[in-house]
Amino acid sequence: MVLAAKQELLDEGRRRLGWFIAAQGKLMPLITKRNEATRAQSSTRTTEGKVKLQRARKEVRRAVNDARAAWVCRTIDIIQPPGDARPPTPKVVWDAIRLLQRGPGASRPVVSMVLYRDQGDNRNKNSCVTQKECGEAMAGSAKQTFSQTGTFYVAAIAKVRQREHEVFAATAKLSNGKSGSDAECPAEYWKALHDDSDLNALVH
């Protein structure tokens, strides 16, 4: 059931593969072959080695061009899904358009998270400098967060039955592409059950 829900309803969204990762099964052997030819030609310069190196480089360039073209086609399919696929949401369409505008070779700068020496003191804004300080701050913050325990009565909570509109509201807040519990079932599955009156009982 979980597998069927993921295949039919799951929207990968931001987790779509880039052109290199999607084609690495074909690219990596060619890149390895080119690198070996480069090392061989660098150590022993021969006419035969030069020809092999040129051929290997050409194969890599051709495979890279094919991978980038396939990425463009996949991104276009997001905007205009083939066949009877579900139409995408406006957000998905615009995200795909921006990807096409940036191109397959575009990258975003990695913004490092700022950690402070005392994560619990909002007035102390002395940021960590070294990697060791960052690790200690992260470990201390995680330990403080996950060591907290709450008190509640399990039996009392079990007696409270959720009302139908509360279930609908909680389900609507679930993020697509993620599981709201340990069931590992995407949120789209539970949302789809609400559309069928006969299946609503499975949600409660």
pLDDT digits (tens, 9 = 90+) for 97-125: 998 998 888 777 777 777 887 766 667 67
What is the SS3 assignment for 69?
Answer: helix
User: What share of the chain has pLDDT > 70, as a percent?
Assistant: 81
The band of 3, judged by pLDDT with boundaries at 50, 70 and 90, is: low
User: What b/e readout covers 96-115, taking b as 16+ CB neighbours within 10 angstroms?
Assistant: beebeeeebeeeeeeeeeeb
The CA distances from residue 62 to 27, 42, 57, 67, 203, in Å, are 10, 23, 9, 9, 51
Kindly give, in sequence order, each residue whose CB lies less than 8 Å from that of residue 204, ignoring residues fewer than 6 positions away: 161, 162, 164, 167
Q: With a threshold of 0.75, does the pTM exceed it?
A: no
Instruction: Give the pair of three-digit tokens for residue 62.
Output: 């051709």
Kindly give, in sequence order, each residue whose CB lies less than 8 Å from that of residue 53, ignoring residues fewer than 6 positions away: 34, 37, 38, 40, 41
